């Protein structure tokens, strides 16, 4: 059972545009919602994370928007650059046990 | 450099031939975990370990074994590999108390023919 659903599966954006990746979850017991970035041939790396009592978190060009009532959260990449081309995974974690549950992943391609 | 090291990076094997993928971390992390990555499915947890001699099943443990005899090492064992275990495998670790900040290895691409 997929507890975190991610869309779209792939995304093509022009340089300078905004990339938006969406995730939805079912389990209201999740304590943190991190995003991981994965470049080809590498393991995923933590990008940014948010707690469910915060509606938005921004780090540079990356912003997480969180809608607790809708059980949805999204990653916005402003001024997208070719170097942002990677696979992005949303995830959710329950503090007790610390198990990380991933979404299906989104392959982002930023065209110059 | 703080890192998680997996070996080998690539492995092609035949059905039924036992294999071990090693994982080592140099960050003194308590928690280690194995994931497999398949297209359209994201990363799914195979096994995890909260500390030495403490291991438990993840979401897809069938066909895999693990052990945690030392804090730094967490090998993944496939006793009798089958083609449906062809996948990209990742080892990850984190310190206790940081429940979402995992450090991942570079992956092991396994093909079972």
Q: What angle do CA A103, B22, A40 make, to 5 degrees?
A: 45
Contact of A42 with chain B, judged by CB distance below 8 Å, is answered with yes
pLDDT per residue as tens digits for the range B38-67? 998 999 999 999 999 999 999 899 999 999
Scanning every residue of chain B, which has its alpha carbon at the shortest distance from the alpha carbon of A93?
B100
Give one DSSP letter per residue of B8-58, joined into a string. Answer: -SEEEE-TT--EEEEEEESS--SEEEEEEEETTTEEEEEEEEEETTEEEE-
Mutate to test the interface with B, among A24, A43, A73 (most CBs of B within 10 A): A43
User: What parts of chain A have a pLDDT lower than 50?
Assistant: none
Query: What pLDDT does residue A97 have?
Result: 65
Yes or no, beta carbons of B43 and A44 under 8 Å apart: yes
Instruction: Give me the residue from A46, A89, A104 closest to B101, CB to CB.
Output: A46
Scanning every residue of chain A, which has its alpha carbon at the shortest distance from the alpha carbon of B47?
A99
Yes or no, beta carbons of A31 and B99 under 8 Å apart: yes
């Amino acid at each position: 059972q997929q507890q975190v659903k991610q869309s779209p599966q792939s995304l093509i954006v022009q340089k300078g545009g905004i990339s938006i990746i969406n995730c939805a979850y079912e389990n209201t017991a999740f304590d943190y919602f991190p995003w991981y970035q994965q470049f080809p041939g590498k393991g995923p790396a933590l990008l940014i994370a948010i707690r469910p009592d915060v509606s938005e978190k921004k780090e540079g060009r990356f912003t997480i928007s969180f809608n607790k009532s809708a059980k949805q959260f999204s990653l916005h990449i402003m001024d997208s650059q070719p170097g942002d081309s990677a696979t992005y995974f949303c995830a959710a974690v329950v503090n007790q046990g610390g198990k990380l549950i991933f979404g299906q992943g989104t392959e982002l391609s930023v065209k110059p | 450099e703080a890192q998680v090291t997996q070996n080998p990076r690539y492995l092609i094997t035949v059905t039924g031939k036992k294999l071990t993928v090693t994982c080592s971390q140099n960050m003194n992390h308590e928690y280690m975990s194995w994931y497999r990555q398949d297209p359209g499915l994201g990363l799914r947890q195979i096994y995890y370990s909260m500390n030495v001699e403490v291991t438990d099943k993840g979401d897809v443990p069938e066909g895999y074994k693990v052990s945690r005899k030392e804090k730094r090492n967490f090998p993944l064992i496939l006793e009798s590999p089958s083609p449906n275990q062809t996948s990209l495998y990742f080892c990850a670790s984190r310190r206790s108390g940081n429940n979402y900040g995992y450090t991942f290895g570079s992956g092991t691409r396994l093909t079972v023919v």
